[in-house]
């Protein structure tokens, strides 16, 4: 038997990654087996080096015996980068093209899937408030990561981000003074509690959990980009089942419904802003 062939090193790495992901799934139910491989691989090596280990198998052993290390690895896989009114043109298009449709409903349910620390959710609450729709809306803000949801619930964000968020808000068609929505505290900026009064923050994993309601709008932005094609298809089926007819799906800048099995079920409201309407 030849043990060290040139290309078997790559095979071995792939095998170790598969073992790690299988182990993680079997041990604690987190299923990253269908996340995009290259991004996962980078994060795994980052964790191997940060823990001063020399192999991926060493990391598997450590996560099984050290719950704090397990938590750190899961945090590495949950990329939480977000901001208020991220891609302001998306929110501008939502205001101009989706709000008129929402006015026709007696009540509105919106699902923010993969909401991270909640900046996107507070942005939507402000927009709906300014359009007079917030009172009849219930927002379900979910993420697989319980720690980011705690931050989202608290509505407390770093003061240093406010200049950027103010610019985003204005570019997104904001109609008030952005600073009217928050007060500055010793711990950061606290957003007004009325913005979260119609929001339910809850843990939900897009890979392992099912649909839990029917929605007029589902926003899942900058999440599917971390999934492989098979998992993207599975999550698109979940969204399709969870949207009412003529419901709206909003994706991230680098994501699209095109080339998926559900492509024909949607009509683009704005292809550039990744806003789609379910039509069959």
Ligand X SMILES: C[S@@+](CC[C@H](N)C(=O)[O-])C[C@H]1O[C@@H](n2cnc3c(N)ncnc32)[C@H](O)[C@@H]1O
CB 29 within 8 A of CB 35: no
State the Cα–Cα distance between residues 111 and 119, nearest whole angstrom: 14
Instruction: Using the rule CB under 6 A, give the single segment among 17-25, 45-53, 95-103, 140-148 that binds ligand X.
Output: 140-148
What's the closest the beta carbon of residue 19 comes to ligand X, in angstroms?
20
Show contacts with ligand X in window 79-118 (CB under 6 A): 79-82, 86, 114-116
Q: Which C-beta is closer to ligand X: that of 91 or that of 134? A: 91
Q: Does 223 bind ligand X (CB under 6 A)?
A: yes
Show contacts with ligand X in window 7-66 (CB under 6 A): none
State the Cα–Cα distance between residues 51 and 69, nearest whole angstrom: 8
Candidates 62, 221, 274, 278: give the one binding ligand X (CB under 6 A): 221
Q: Which of 19, 21, 34 is nearest to 207 (CA)?
A: 34
**What spatial distance separates the first Cα and last Cα of the chain, rounded to whole Å?**
56
- Identify the H or E element spanning 264: none
Q: Does 250 bind ligand X (CB under 6 A)?
A: no
Q: What are phi and psi of 181, to 5 degrees?
A: -90, -5
Q: Does 222 bind ligand X (CB under 6 A)?
A: yes
Q: Does 256 bind ligand X (CB under 6 A)?
A: no
Q: Does 148 bind ligand X (CB under 6 A)?
A: yes
What's the closest the beta carbon of residue 55 comes to ligand X, in angstroms?
26
Q: Does 123 bind ligand X (CB under 6 A)?
A: no
Residue identified by tokens 């938590």 is 71
Q: Does 232 bind ligand X (CB under 6 A)?
A: no
What's the closest the beta carbon of residue 251 comes to ligand X, in angstroms?
9
Instruction: Using the rule CB under 6 A, give the single segment among 94-102, 178-186, 216-224, 237-245 that binds ligand X.
Output: 216-224
Report the 10 Å Cβ neighbour count for 149: 21
DSSP category for residue 217: E
Q: Which of 136, 140, 142, 132 is nearest to 108 (CA)?
A: 136
CB 162 within 8 A of CB 189: yes
Where do contacts with ligand X occur on this chain (CB under 6 A)? 78-82, 86, 114-116, 120, 143-145, 148, 205-207, 221-223, 252
């Amino acid at each position: 038997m030849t043990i060290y062939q040139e290309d078997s090193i790559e095979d071995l790495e792939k095998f170790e990654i598969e073992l790690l992901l299988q182990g993680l799934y079997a041990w604690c139910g987190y299923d990253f087996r269908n996340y995009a491989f290259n991004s996962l691989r980078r994060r795994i090596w980052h964790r191997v080096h940060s823990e001063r280990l020399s192999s991926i198998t060493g990391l598997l052993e450590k996560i099984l015996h050290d719950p704090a290390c397990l938590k750190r690895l899961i945090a590495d896989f949950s990329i939480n980068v977000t901001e208020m009114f991220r891609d302001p043109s998306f929110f501008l298009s939502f205001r101009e093209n989706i709000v008129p449709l929402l006015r026709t409903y007696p009540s509105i349910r919106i699902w923010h899937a993969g909401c991270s620390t909640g900046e996107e959710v507070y942005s939507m609450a402000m927009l709906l408030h300014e359009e007079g729709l917030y009172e009849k809306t219930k927002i379900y803000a979910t993420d697989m990561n319980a720690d980011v949801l705690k931050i989202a619930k608290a509505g407390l964000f770093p003061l240093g981000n406010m200049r950027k968020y103010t610019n985003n808000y204005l570019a997104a068609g904001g109609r008030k003074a952005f600073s009217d929505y928050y007060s500055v505290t010793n711990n950061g900026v606290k957003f007004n509690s009325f913005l979260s009064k119609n929001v339910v923050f809850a843990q939900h994993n897009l890979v392992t959990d099912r649909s839990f309601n029917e929605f007029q709008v589902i926003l899942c932005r900058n999440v599917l980009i971390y999934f492989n094609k098979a998992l993207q298809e599975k999550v698109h089926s979940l969204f399709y089942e969870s949207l009412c007819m003529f419901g709206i799906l909003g994706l991230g800048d680098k994501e699209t419904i095109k080339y998926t099995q559900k492509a024909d079920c949607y009509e683009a409201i704005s292809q550039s802003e990744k806003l789609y309407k379910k039509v069959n």
